[in-house]
Amino acid sequence: MTFSRRTVLGFALLPLACDSAKPHEGFLGLTERLNDRVQHRLLRPGKLAPQEPESAVTQEGEFPLYKVADDYPEAPAGWKLRVHGLVKSPLELSLAELRRLTPTRFRVRHHCVEGWSAVAAWHGVRVSEMARLCGADPRARFVEFRSFERGQPSEDAEAVRYYSTWDRESAEHPQTILAYARNGAAISREEGAPLRLYSAVKLGYKMVKWVDEVVFQPVRTGGYWEDLGYEWFAGV
């Protein structure tokens, strides 16, 4: 096993290198990269999250609905989902068109980075199905999901779009969908209407709401919370 100079330095400066304000750097950045790799290794593409019983479903009103904008955003008129990037044929799909694609439904536990869990049933189209329809290139090892919600990452910063980038394997997990219904009803504006990302294999902040773009890409980009310091992989 060989260690890069950066690795050796990272450990040698351990007491100085744990700066929690910059968790992507120093010793913490080093272990984050290690943890990202371990998490990726732990992900088994065929392994499904257990189906929760109907009785475990979180009561209406108790499932937290977070946002980064001041108000829950309203879908722009003529909203369509754009799927593009390293693909054979880019797509533009209306909600009606999405609803005609093969649906997937599952009832699973949601894990928030804050530590709470909640249960709901989700209904939508697999991201793997979108990848197949647009002919996503295997070299596109990452998928960026973009929202039309805009938020200010800090008080003096300009508002940016909410987004998050995933590893392709998690994005194409059988329980990763672009969801348009929850607990049997169309999702509300607060829940991410008209379309939101939902997955059983990631923490909540990776599941972009109010989605309008899916980009298959060969490079790893960040995310709204990831750019602020939250871990990138965030698998569960």
Q: In 3-state terms, what secondary structure has residue 107?
A: strand
Binding segment (CB under 8 A) for another protein, from list 71-79, 106-114, 129-137, 184-192: 106-114
Binding segment (CB under 8 A) for another protein, from list 80-88, 114-122, 141-149, 154-162: 114-122
One-letter amino acid at 156 equals D
Tell which one of 7, 8, 13, 44 touches another protein (CB under 8 A).
Answer: 44
Tell which one of 43, 95, 121, 181 touches another protein (CB under 8 A).
Answer: 43
Sites for another protein among residues 123-182 (CB under 8 A): none
CA distances 86 to 145, 166, 200, Å, are 14, 15, 26
Sites for another protein among residues 209-228 (CB under 8 A): 225, 228
Q: How many CA atoms lie within 13 A of 111 on its CB side?
A: 10
Binding segment (CB under 8 A) for another protein, from list 35-43, 66-74, 76-84, 146-154: 35-43
Q: In 3-state terms, what secondary structure has residue 186?
A: strand
Q: How many CA atoms lie within 13 A of 102 on its CB side?
A: 8
Binding segment (CB under 8 A) for another protein, from list 30-38, 134-142, 146-154, 161-169: 30-38
Neighbours of 217 (CB within 10 A): 20
223/40 Cα distance (integer angstroms): 18
Which residues make Cβ contacts (< 8 Å) with residue 37, sequence separation at least 6? none
30/38 Cα distance (integer angstroms): 13
Nearer to another protein, 2 or 55 (CB): 55
Tell which one of 12, 13, 42, 159 touches another protein (CB under 8 A).
Answer: 42
Cβ-contact 137, 216 below 8 angstroms: yes
Tell which one of 64, 76, 90, 135 touches another protein (CB under 8 A).
Answer: 64
146/128 Cα distance (integer angstroms): 17
Tell which one of 3, 7, 37, 47 touches another protein (CB under 8 A).
Answer: 47
Tell which one of 4, 59, 89, 102 touches another protein (CB under 8 A).
Answer: 59
- Which residues make up the interface to another protein (CB under 8 A)? 18, 20-21, 23, 27-28, 30-32, 34-35, 39, 42-44, 47, 49-50, 58-59, 62-64, 109, 111-119, 200-201, 225, 228-231, 235-236
